[in-house]
Amino acid sequence: MINDDELLEDPCRAKDTYSGLRFLAFVLIFVGMLGGGGIVVLAQSLYWILPASVLGYTASVMLYGFARNQNGNQSFLFTCPVVVSQYPRLLKRHAGYLAVLIVLEANALLIKPNLSAWWLTSSGKDVTPFSILVAMLVGALAVTEILTNRGLLERAHNDRFGKRRS
């Protein structure tokens, strides 16, 4: 039996990565991302907005953090030994980002009633400057987490297998 240290081929760069379970996992993540975002848009209560945004945010970070996406980014398989070894760090980081997300959104919802009418008036598309600002801040937080997580996984991958071209 071969242990993780004796792997000759890089399992994270496997050419054929399709499996039914992987497809199902990504479908569930995608549905969670869209469902969480939909609930946030429709909800008016703090008790619905925060859990829904945590769900949508987490699903988005997972989808874009692990998937290949564009520009030839490497995909990271959930079962790759490098990824599995980084789960504790990724989970700690994600908990920190979720704390920032919750504080950001809770404070935004608390100050919303005290804002001037300009911040809360839509320009005909049901989108207010306030909601655009909050969405941009949440988006910046998500992009920051995705890029730092991918960087962490790339460094761990390169430490484990060396820098190779796929």
Half-sphere exposure of 6 (CA within 13 A, CB side): 3
pLDDT greater than 70 at residue 2: no
pLDDT of residue 65: 85
Q: In this predicted model, which residue has the larger pLDDT, 21 or 7?
A: 21
Q: Report the candidate in 40, 32, 77 with the shortest Cα–Cα distance to residue 59.
A: 32
Half-sphere exposure of 131 (CA within 13 A, CB side): 13
The residue length of the chain stands at: 166
pLDDT of residue 17: 62
pLDDT of residue 46: 63
Q: In this predicted model, which residue has the larger pLDDT, 19 or 115?
A: 115
- Every domain of the chain and the residues it spans: 17-161
Per-residue pLDDT of 67-81, as tens digits, reads 776 666 777 878 888
- Work out the pLDDT band at 9, boundaries 50, 70, 90: low
pTM higher than 0.75: yes
Q: How many CB atoms lie within 10 A of CB 89?
A: 13
C-alpha torsion sign, points 18, 19, 23, 29: negative
pLDDT greater than 70 at residue 6: no
83 in Cβ contact with 153 (< 8 Å):
yes
Region 122-148 average pLDDT: 87
